[in-house]
Amino acid sequence: WRLKRVLDRHGIRATVSLNASICHSYPQIVDASLAAGWEMLGHGFIQRALSLESDERAVIRRSIDTIKEYTGAAPRGWMGPGLVETMHTPDILAAEGIEYVCDWCNDDQPYRMKVQQGSLVSIPYTVELNDIPVYLIQHHSSSELFDRARDHFDTLYQEGAESARIMAVSTHPYITGVPHRIKYYDMIFDYIKQFPDVVFMTGSEILDWYKAQG
């Protein structure tokens, strides 16, 4: 709820990496997210890597169906739990109607992926501005996410004068949402909003913008 208060204050709509089972176990979180205009991104049924599932397609389909049944709309995007895919994941996702995927942390711009049928676009995600490696693995101080986000933004903003760049900030309630870190999360958006020609978009909005460019 601390994360949501920050985003609401700044008028920013998040893209939620949603384990679909949350629709059943914590529906109040999904309800509040939907009421705020946030996007639901498919993130498995539970937090378990697809490579550990006996039937990957069934898990993907169950996740999509559960989110659609609860929210009234199927998710357009997907992120594998733990960013894990198999060799078959992109083809399965495209075949099941997923339009974009966030598993590939290798570019600051969207790009089209090769799939057997349909289409699939990679939307930029990050492990550089991600609170799991920053805090739980690298053990940085509470201010690190803000310091890194500020420097990251400065570079992308300069490059964006020639060609648009996407900056993702990935946070988890049990990490960035704790009392001693939340103010630095707030500071990220205070800083970014000072600059002209910056827009805040959900994953689907980035996808639609990208496709509109031809």
Are 138 and 148 in contact by the 8 Å Cβ rule? The answer is: no
pLDDT confidence bin for 97, thresholds 50/70/90: very high
For 134, the token pair is 């920053």
Would the pLDDT of 214 be above 90? no
Query: How do residues 115-152 score in pLDDT, each as one tens digit?
Result: 999 999 999 999 999 999 999 999 999 999 999 999 99
For 70, the token pair is 């609860």
Non-local CB neighbours of 59 within 8 Å, separated by 6+ positions: 44, 45, 50, 53
Non-local CB neighbours of 151 within 8 Å, separated by 6+ positions: none
The average pLDDT across 169-181 equals 98
Q: What pLDDT was estimated at residue 9?
A: 98
Query: How do residues 51-88 score in pLDDT, each as one tens digit?
Result: 999 999 999 999 999 999 999 999 999 999 999 999 99
Is 29 exposed, middle or buried, given 0-12, 13-18 or 19+ CB atoms closer than 10 A? middle
The average pLDDT across 166-177 equals 98
For 3, the token pair is 């994360």
Are 184 and 146 in contact by the 8 Å Cβ rule? The answer is: yes
Q: CA of 142: how far to CAs of 5, 10, 32, 38, in Å? A: 19, 21, 27, 26
CA distance linking residue 24 with residue 1, whole number of Å: 18
Q: What pLDDT was estimated at residue 19?
A: 98
Average pLDDT, the chain: 97
